[in-house]
A = this chain, B = another copy of it.
Amino acid sequence: MTRVAWLVAGKDLRIEARSRVLLWQVLPFGVIALLLSGLALGPTHAGNSTAGPGLFYLVTLFVALLMINRSQALENAPGTRASVATLGLDPAGVFLGKALALTVELWITGLVLLGGSVLVLHTSLIGTVHALPSVLVTLAALAAAGTLYGALTQGGDGPATLLPVLTLPAFAPLLIAGERSYSAALHGGALWEWWVIVVVALVAYTAVGILLYGVLEES
């Protein structure tokens, strides 16, 4: 399983590194979206630093959707699906590999966006550093969930538009927990309960992925 996971993760990251889409397209998009969200809310709300964590997660969510879609689209080029299916890769490994690659990509984006929200939304730097571990875990959970949902949507009609519908409700609790724990890190407050939610989500999605990804791939 781990062998396949490394293999798949390596392949995904290599394709990503080659196309530079993350660097040139996804990251700028995130930064602009952050700026725009600030704008859309107007100075009163955006200047208000309590909006920082919420906006950060909102933008991360949209970025994650783009990246999940890309990650699954790789497997869905005409013909690719059939050929790869006949390799008979262990689905648990494929799931782990794709989730891993997505995690790495989301971490990179997340760090840049955190930097952006410190600069642009006046979120406190120290608070943000404190929130870092919880952000990383939340992003990993997003990646695991996203890989699962991504596999659900592919192959049907208009996967790029189906994905958001399916994932948003699932991401909502993650979003809230992430935002709460980030806010708690900023303003002080009970952290651990949000941690529990996020960690449980990560473990649950990973477990479900390992167990059920095979069912999704069979079709």
Give A contacts to B, CB under 8 Å.
19-21, 24-26, 28-29, 32-33, 35-37, 39-42, 44-45, 50-51, 54-55, 57-58, 61-62, 66, 69-70, 73, 78, 157-158, 160-162, 164-165, 168-169, 171-172, 175-176, 179
Contact = CB atoms under 8 A, between A and B. Distances in A.
Contacts of A58: 36-37, 40
A14 to B, nearest CB: 15
A39 B177 CA distance: 11
Contacts of A158: 19, 21, 25, 70
Contacts of A37: 58
B29 A168 contact: yes
A204 to B, nearest CB: 20
Q: How many copies does the complex hold?
A: 2
B172 A39 contact: yes
A194 to B, nearest CB: 14
Contacts of A176: 39-40
Contacts of A21: 157-158, 161-162
A82 B131 CA distance: 51
Nearest to A19: B157
A54 B51 CA distance: 14
Given A160-B69, A160-B70, A160-B160, A32 B169 contact: yes
A57 B78 CA distance: 36
A28 B161 CA distance: 10
13 contacts: A19-B157, A21-B158, A21-B162, A35-B172, A36-B61, A39-B175, A40-B175, A40-B179, A42-B50, A44-B50, A70-B160, A70-B161, A160-B160
A170 to B, nearest CB: 10
Contacts of A35: 172
